[in-house]
Amino acid sequence: MTTKTVSKEELKSLYEKDFYRWIIENVELLKNKEFDLVDWDNVIEELESMGRSELRSVISFMAVILEHLYKWENFRENENMGDSWIDSIDNARTELDYLFSDSPSLRRKVQEGVDLAWKNAVKRLVRWFEKPLNEKLAKKYFGKLPTEKNFPEKCPYSFDDILNYKPWKKNSEE
């Protein structure tokens, strides 16, 4: 795509007014090696934001896995309960596989994020028990609606558990 040359000041204002055009203009400048015209401050900000977004996605998928692993091991009432949890775990693991294959360094970085993922999972667990359908389970296991204080402070699962543990296969062959 050929774009008309814009001044550095115009480029900076495009960042706020027309983000897509700002991207196109900066890409063209980079391709043409016109580095002195690139809006570096905002390019750097966007690159950092992309990295944070990828990390947030991974932590979010890990929280889903942790929530459902914990539910399976602690609140499963009968054999018919939990199939949707397995599906959620499998789907989240598939997404993690994709993210880690696309960005291998995320795997190393996110191991530090297990505690944050657990905190998010606990918030999800509390909200799950607040649903009218689950109030009886809350009373059975906690005697009341649980709060974050009713769950382990430290994550009971390792990073390897998040990626591989299948408690539903404990009594059968892997």
Residue 38 φ/ψ, nearest 5 degrees: -65, 140
Per-residue model confidence as pLDDT tens digits over 16-43? 999 999 999 999 999 999 999 999 999 9
| Alpha carbon distance 151, 143 (integer Å) | 14
Has residue 12 got a pLDDT over 80? yes
User: pLDDT band for position 160 (50/70/90)?
Assistant: very high
Question: Which pLDDT belongs to residue 45?
Answer: 94
Residues 84-104: tens digit of each pLDDT: 999 999 999 999 999 999 999
Which helix (H) or strand (E) segment is 47 a member of? Answer: helix 40-75
pTM of the model: 0.82
Q: Which residue has the higher pLDDT, 73 or 4?
A: 73
Tell me what the mean pLDDT of segment 140-167 comes to. 97
Whether the CA torsion 106, 56, 121, 65 is positive or negative: it is negative
pLDDT of residue 171: 61
pLDDT tens digits for range 36-76: 999 999 999 999 999 889 999 999 999 999 999 999 999 99
Is 168 a residue whose pLDDT tops 90?
A: yes
Confidence of residue 112 (pLDDT cuts 50, 70, 90): confident
Is the pLDDT score of 80 beyond 50? Answer: yes
> If phi over 0 gives left and psi between -120 and 50 gives alpha, with beta otherwise, what is residue 39?
beta
The band of 6, judged by pLDDT with boundaries at 50, 70 and 90, is confident
